[in-house]
Amino acid sequence: MTTRRTFLQNSTLCLAGFSGLQAADSEAKALIKVGLMTDLHYADKPPTKTRFYREALAKLDEAVEVMNREKPALVVELGDFIDQADSVEKESEWLKTMESHFAKLSMPRHYVLGNHCVGTLTKEEFAANTKASGGHESFEAGGVTVIILDACFRSDGTPYSRKNFDWKDANIPARQLAWLESELSKSSGPVIVLAHQRLDADKAHAVQNAPAVRSLLEKSGKVLAVFQGHSHKNDYQEIAGIHYTTLVAMVEGSGMENNGYAMLEVMPDSSLRLQGFRRQVNRALNHA
């Protein structure tokens, strides 16, 4: 198994020549290209410390413009699309504002539920004001199965809603685990998994039953990578041959130079290329 140290050493070489790799492999066509962004936390309120809530609109507009130019098959926002408001009415307005900007994408868009998305709204209310499924979902695109997980559940199985939870108590409930196992078993091709709360070994921001989730992913032998948000930083871990990549938050820092989003390509040889924009780092992830 590739160790984290070995990967990081190899990754440094890969990332230094990322443009060269793209040019050298220009004949290899990606199975699918997916736009990714996370943790915009839009809110019509003043900034707090490092979070600049109102600037999320302009940052989203830039990302949408790039996505429309690069033309991925789909775009996924990995959670905390909006920040928490003190009323349902206010948060609904913030969500409608964000959705009007996100809807300028020329390709299908998908959403992972984050804890801030359903801190005041119910999952059904979030879905009613967006194109979101309102929970977990699975679909195939370009021969790749894309699985979106919903960890916005308390340890007792109660879904997050209206300030009824501690954000550190994030879980994939038993029913969703059974669904995940079924989706993995019937998948005919490689799988990428998208989540908000982290499924790797990051204690503070992790799904509480992440080991049970990882066990299913590993047992399937089909999962190439997990892409996640929540902890607001660029991060990476490899566990049992699966790449766990955490994307940088778009809300952090003022100015467009502090934006961050990515374009993911899944290649026919099961390698993955993550092209980062602004503060999002590039990653070249090879399949062991």
pLDDT in tens, 149-182: 999 999 999 999 998 999 999 999 999 999 999 9
The rounded mean pLDDT for the chain is 90
Q: For residue 150, what are its two tokens?
A: 């919903």
Q: What is the pLDDT of residues 190-201, one digit of tens each?
A: 999 999 999 997
21/174: higher pLDDT: 174
Is the per-residue pLDDT at 279 higher than 50? yes
Closest CA to 56 of 251, 248, 253: 251
Domain ranges of the chain: 4-9+29-285
Identity of the highest mean pLDDT range in 10-24, 104-118, 130-144:
104-118
Question: What's the CATH fold of domain 4-9+29-285?
Answer: Purple Acid Phosphatase; chain A, domain 2 (3.60.21)
| Residues forming a β-bridge with 152 | none
Q: What is the pLDDT of residues 68-118, one digit of tens each?
A: 999 999 999 999 999 999 999 999 999 999 999 999 999 999 999 999 999
Confidence band of 21 (pLDDT split at 50, 70, 90): very low
> With the CA atoms of 6, 7, 12 and 13 taken in that order, what torsion angle do they form, in degrees rounded to the nearest 10?
80
Looking at the chain, the whole-number percentage of residues with pLDDT higher than 90 is: 84
Cβ atoms of 162 and 120 closer than 8 Å: yes
